[in-house]
């Protein structure tokens, strides 16, 4: 089954594990791919809408993973036997929605996240609530940018630049990051003086300096 580049990026971030839980699974393409490629042994796909789960059931049957993929119609992290060795995947929803899913759990496993908006907000919340990221990337698909990150429980040193742009993302995804950054920098610079987003401009100036220094160093 062919997957889009953004879904392939999610799969690339998932470590070898016993079980993955995909919240907002839609047609269950990610857990099916993880099972078919033997990256995980077992998977749970959760979605609050029964309509996409109907197609997910068909996809599960066609992929011959019916005995290894449990599909549930539920809202959020509806799993009774969560283990720290589990990996949770969330994509296709906003950062604030992801925060709402995570805020009431004491679970301490691995997160793979790909929010479609409110990305710095989510990073800030995760850092403030005992998570750290070891890898993040950005890619472009159909004129939209997707940030994919992996998070673990623990504390690491991050600053405002890391929260706004991801930890070293500008080095890991150089070309796409610069493309996104140039567009966003121009957008912020063109906002009215009273716009709240203009408060981010000093961070963008600092990042512009980093990008310029990197180019000068070759």
Query: What's the pLDDT tens digit per position in 56-108?
Result: 999 999 999 999 999 999 998 988 899 999 999 999 999 999 999 999 888 98
* Helices 201-216 and 174-189, packing angle to 10 deg: 140
Would you say residue 218 has pLDDT above 60?
no
- pLDDT tens for each residue of 38-64: 999 999 999 999 999 999 999 999 999
Q: Specify the pLDDT at position 105.
A: 86
Q: Tell me, what's the pLDDT at 217? A: 61
Residues 6+ apart with CB under 8 A from 82: 21, 105, 107, 109
In CATH, what number does 5-155 get?
3.40.50.150
State pTM to two decimals.
Answer: 0.94
Q: Could you state, in order of their start, the residue ranges of all structural domains in the chain?
A: 5-155, 173-218
* Overall average pLDDT of the 183-207 stretch: 95
């Amino acid at each position: 089954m062919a997957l889009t580049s953004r879904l392939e990026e999610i799969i690339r971030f998932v470590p070898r594990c016993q079980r993955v839980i995909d919240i907002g699974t839609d047609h269950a393409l990610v857990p099916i791919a993880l099972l078919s490629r033997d990256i995980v042994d077992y998977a749970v796909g959760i979605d609050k809408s029964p309509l996409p789960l109907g197609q997910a059931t068909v996809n599960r049957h066609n992929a011959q993973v019916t005995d290894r993929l449990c599909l549930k119609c539920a809202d959020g992290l509806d799993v009774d036997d969560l283990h720290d060795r589990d990996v949770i995947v969330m994509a296709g929803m906003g950062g604030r929605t992801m925060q709402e899913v995570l805020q009431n759990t004491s679970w301490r496993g691995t997160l793979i996240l790909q929010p479609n908006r409110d990305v710095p907000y989510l990073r800030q919340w995760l850092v403030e609530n005992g998570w750290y990221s070891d890898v993040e990337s950005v890619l472009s698909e159909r004129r939209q940018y997707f940030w994919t990150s992996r998070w673990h429980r623990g504390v690491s040193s991050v600053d405002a630049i890391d929260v706004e742009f991801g930890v070293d993302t500008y080095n890991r995804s150089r070309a796409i990051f610069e493309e996104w950054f140039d567009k966003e920098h121009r957008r912020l610079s063109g906002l009215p003086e009273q716009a709240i987003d203009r408060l981010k401009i000093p961070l963008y100036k600092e990042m512009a300096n980093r990008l310029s220094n990197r180019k000068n160093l070759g």
